[in-house]
Amino acid sequence: MARVDVSCVFFSVHRPRPPHCDRHYCDRRHCDRHYCDRPPVPDTVEVALPVPEFDQDALLADVSGWPLNGVVQEADRVLVYVPASAWTDDRRRSLEAWLEQNGYEPAVDLRIVPPQNWNAVWEASIEPVSVGPFLVVPSWADPPREGEDAILLEIDPKMSFGTGHHATTRLALQHVARAVEPGDRLLDVGTGTGILSIAACRLGAASALALDIDARAVENARENVARNGAEACVEVRHGVLAEVDADGFDGVVVNITIDVLLDLLPELPPRLRPGARLIVSGLFSHDRSRLIDAAVEHGFSLQAENTEGGWWGGRFVR
């Protein structure tokens, strides 16, 4: 399943837009679809780049300042959509240089895409995702009948990360399904859409404290919590881990980059009870040993691990 991000800002509309839509592109996330009913975007250049999934985030960070209509991430390539008026030889040379510097064939394949409604393209591409006992669906899609026995998670991403369409979220959900026990108190650091906290509550957790430093993610997570009827279980808070003075949590889940995770590790043990579980994701497979060594130093031992597409997830016990 491709991971698709589309822009929803190019033309003015006759109704207010949220502040995060007042830009030329969507930062590889999604503006509120209700503000995206726009005329079709003029001709777009589709740029196909032969980069596997584990290196795609690095590539996309390199082009994050470009005006983009959208991005499609597949297992072995990235499709970047640039307005035809903004495509230049300098941008092509920049991509070729990145590919060569990172060990890839500097092959940049181009195709002109006719005008179309990119928001409709995005919505059509987001399909339900089955992860362990969970079925993740966006609010505008009907769950498939074959998923009637699954635990339904209705998640709209907006600008936040965590829909089940990326390997890191799937890895974390798999560990949540195996680790969360009825009555657990969960700490979710870097909650994004709130999907992991909502999933834990669906499994019987008594409560989940979901943190994020991004105010837009906090708003999105609260909407998803309400959409799933989990307000009594999930508290979404704007802030950092250092501001959490509660302790005795039964588990903590952190789906975040390796450097941030390493900085957070020393702050976790004082907030966890003995025997608590630590679930980590968001790491490349080559960061596995580095993370395990650091976790052991802080009193955690590896209990289980999983991998997908160059990404690694782990479950530890304190």
What's residue 131's pLDDT? 92
Residue 223 has pLDDT above 90, yes or no: yes
Mean pLDDT, range 147-154, rounded to an integer: 84
25-53: per-residue pLDDT in tens? Answer: 333 333 333 333 444 446 889 999 999 88
Count of beta carbons in the 10 Å neighbourhood of residue 212: 25
Distance CA 74, CA 77 (A): 5
Residue 159 has pLDDT above 70, yes or no: no
The answer to whether 195 and 136 have CB atoms below 8 angstroms apart is: yes
249-294: per-residue pLDDT in tens? Answer: 999 999 988 989 999 999 999 999 999 999 999 888 999 999 999 9
pTM of structure: 0.69
Supply the Cα-derived Rg of the chain in whole angstroms. 20
Of 230, 156, 231, 220, residue with least CA distance to 192: 220
Beta-ladder partners of 316: 278, 302
Fold designation for 128-317: Rossmann fold (3.40.50)
Domain limits, the chain: 3-123, 128-317
Distance CA 137, CA 128 (A): 5
Task: Show the tokens assigned to 12.
Answer: 């003015």
